[in-house]
Amino acid sequence: MKIFNATTADVASIYQLIKVYADKQIVLPRSLLSIYQHLQCMYVVKDKDKVVGVAGLHVLGEDLAEVRSLVIEPEYQHKGIGRMLLNHIITESSRLGVDRLISLTYQVDFFMKCGFDIVKKETLSEKVWIDCMNCPKFNQCDEVAMIKSLTEK
Ligand SMILES: CC(C)(COP(=O)(O)OP(=O)(O)OC[C@H]1O[C@@H](n2cnc3c(N)ncnc32)[C@H](O)[C@@H]1OP(=O)(O)O)[C@@H](O)C(=O)NCCC(=O)NCCS
């Protein structure tokens, strides 16, 4: 299985895969328009032609980026695909000159295994919260903020 830059042909599959977890309020919902608008920073893993994993990279400022919509098809989980996509996002973030990568997540153990630490939400830039306007859990967010320094060796 390989990572590809997402294309318009992948959008319907990306939408459906995110929806599986958005319906369970595990990740933020994404509209088709939002996926099209951010397609140039979205990556997919394919098994033959089937999209089995998705991740998005959003640069929030000079030294901060966020990984969003990291989702793996249920029957493809625990095969290393999530880590592979996250490592790709880390590489791309570094290439873009970003120092820190954050995630707002319920998957604390997964992100810890991938080198992230828990951080207090209050310490994060307000730019992180722009998409929270569209979240059904706005004002009662129970996600954990996690961060990885990309400059530490
Ligand atoms: C969280 C998620 C992206 C992980 O992807 P994955 O492909 O299943 O994870 P990997 O196989 O790459 O696992 C990497 C490591 O994390 C561990 N891990 C994965 N999911 C875990 C979990 N839920 N709890 C504890 N450890 C977990 C694996 O055991 C593995 O550890 P190892 O290196 O010691 O073997 C995937 O389970 C998923 O799509 N979950 C639902 C959507 C979601 O919550 N996304 C995160 C939004 S921020």
Task: List pocket residues of ligand 1, CB cut-off 6 Å.
Answer: 21, 26-27, 70-72, 77-83, 103, 105-107, 109-110, 113
Per-residue pLDDT of the chain (153 residues; tens, 9 = 90+): 999 999 999 999 999 999 999 999 899 899 999 999 999 999 999 999 999 999 999 999 999 999 999 999 999 999 999 999 999 999 999 999 999 999 999 999 999 999 999 999 888 877 677 777 777 776 777 889 999 999 875
Give the residue, out of 30, 52, 78, 90, with the most ligand 1 atoms within 8 A of its beta carbon, to mutate for a pocket test: 78
Q: What is the CATH number of the domain that holds 102?
A: 3.40.630.30
Q: Which domain holds residue 128?
A: 2-149
| Ligand 1 center–CA 30 separation, angstroms | 21
Question: Three-class SS of residue 148?
Answer: strand
Q: How many domains does the chain have?
A: 1
Give the 3-state secondary structure percentages of the chain, helix then strand then coil, rounded to 5.
40, 30, 30
Question: Three-class SS of residue 76?
Answer: helix
Whole-model pTM over 0.85: yes
> 51: closest CA among 75, 72, 23?
72
Sheet holding 2-5, edge to edge: 2-5, 42-47, 50-61, 64-72, 100-105, 144-149, 117-118
- Distance (Å, whole) CA 5 – CA 44: 6
- Distance (Å, whole) CA 64 – CA 100: 5
| Ligand 1 center–CA 82 separation, angstroms | 6
